[in-house]
Amino acid sequence: MKLKSNLSVLFCVILPAVLCAQGTMSWPMHFDTSNVLPHNETWHMEADEYGNVWVAPDYTEPEAPDGVYVFNGVFWSYLHPSNSELNNRWVLLIHSDVFGEVWLVTYGTVEYGLEIVKDGGWHYIDGYTIPWDFYMYAMASDSAAIWFAGDVGLLRFDRDTTWIKYDTSNSPLPNNPLDCMLVDRDGILWIGTRGRGLYRFDGQNWSNFNTTNSNIPGDYPSSIVQDCEGRIWIGFWYESNYHPVAQFDGVNTFIPYHASNFSCLSCFINFDAMALDADGHVYVAVNGTGVWRFDNNTWEQITPPPAVSLITAIRGCLVIDKENRIWLSLIYDGIWVSEPIPRATGVSDAAVESTSPYWYLGDDGMLWLHLGEELSGAGEVVVYDLLGRTMQTEKVQIVDGRTQLRLRQLPQGAYLVSVRTAGTMQTFKVPVLR
């Protein structure tokens, strides 16, 4: 496919194709007020399953704009109530679930709301129908439910109509803010509290790990992830005896790592400041020293970006996107994006592509879709823009997992192409350049 140069009203980025050497990193992309961001401080970031990165401006700043920014790998889009189906002005939290749906906790002038982007469209749940009476700090999910944590409780939503609230009246949860959450691969919910340590909930039974009854190094967990070996990793932001990170076996043993492991006298981890790369390795943004990676039982510092300051954003400052690039949000200095992290030895990109869904757009406008599985029969293809508007619908025949259609004369931009059969649905992100 030939790419034709043309200026766009959206901010276009030419992505580097060079991989970095392990242990070193360059940061070829920098987004701030000089190019695309309205101001240099963000409130939350999330990478979704389709390769988009969602960025919520810091709504606590007086000059902060409404809405959310979305980078699709090529262009930035700015979505707000005036040009999209987003209902409320400010985006507080963003979460991409196991189905690729994006959930946004939003706030208007008088109420909270829940906005879901799925199947190429927007869906809104009015805050008055949700039993929350507290500020939201974290989200987590599995295939059965979405979890919301806030300053005085926990909510479970079954993705349909049923909400369950847990607080001091019906659970051992303390009357303390709940700052971070994880649903692990076994379906266990882990909750980090502000001052009362770590809670475990298996759907029926609760357990608590704090500095009084265990060797957890702090009672203020701020970030939780699970690595490729099933270990739980916890970051701390306050009073952790200079141990900002701990490894946990999920049963009773914590392995704390001292600040000296991160080349600083005293450091802490902000909220949602841990992420996993494509091979399941743990990365953590340490306030003041940049990004660190755990590999071969040692911590390795990633070459920091040439930033004015390495003070990380308060919440959601670190994500790793589908291209295996690190996104780091810094106070005063916008967002830095690294080159792709190289895959582990023996992992071939070609091998991944051979079994994965892919698409090809020809110069004649013919879009070829490979679904990655042996499907045959009738199907439907729906093309949406990033605002969820239907741009084209076609009935197609699928043969051996392949189908095709001719795209109409669409404006330059990115589109979601959804392929539906009787029992399956796959969505592709397709940029159209003219």
84-109 pLDDT, tens digit per residue, is 888 888 899 999 998 889 999 998 86
Distance CA 17, CA 290 (A): 23
Distances (CA, A) of 260 to 263, 279, 428: 5, 26, 45
Q: What is the 3-state secondary structure (H, E, C) of 212-280?
A: CCCCCCCCCEEEEEECCCCCEEEEECCCCCCCCEEEECCCCCEEEECHHHHCCCCCCCCECCEEECCCC
Characterise 429 by phi-psi region: left (phi > 0), alpha (psi -120 to 50), beta (else).
beta
Characterise 62 by phi-psi region: left (phi > 0), alpha (psi -120 to 50), beta (else).
alpha
Distance CA 240, CA 299 (A): 18
- CATH fold of 29-337 reads Methylamine Dehydrogenase; Chain H (2.130.10)
| DSSP-derived secondary structure for 42-64 | EEEEEE-TTS-EEEEE-TTSTTP
Q: What is the pLDDT of residue 133?
A: 67
Longest dimension (CA), the chain: 68
Distance CA 156, CA 394 (A): 38
Q: What is the pLDDT of residue 5?
A: 25
Q: Domain extents for the chain?
A: 29-337, 355-432
CA-CA-CA-CA torsion sign (198, 202, 203, 207)? negative
Distance CA 302, CA 273 (A): 15
CA-CA-CA-CA torsion sign (106, 111, 116, 121)? negative
- CATH fold of 355-432 reads Immunoglobulin-like (2.60.40)
- Which residues, 6+ apart, have CB-to-CB distance to 393 below 8 Å? 380, 381, 382, 383
Q: What is the pTM of this model?
A: 0.77
Which of 80-94, 150-164, 292-306, 361-375 is predicted with the least confidence, judged by mean pLDDT?
A: 361-375
- Which residues, 6+ apart, have CB-to-CB distance to 202 below 8 Å? 187, 188, 189
Residue 42 token pair: 């963000």
Q: Choose between 49 and 198: higher pLDDT.
A: 198
pLDDT of 273-312, one tens digit each?
999 998 899 999 988 888 999 987 889 999 999 987 888 8
Distance CA 159, CA 279 (A): 29
Residue 192 token pair: 């980090």
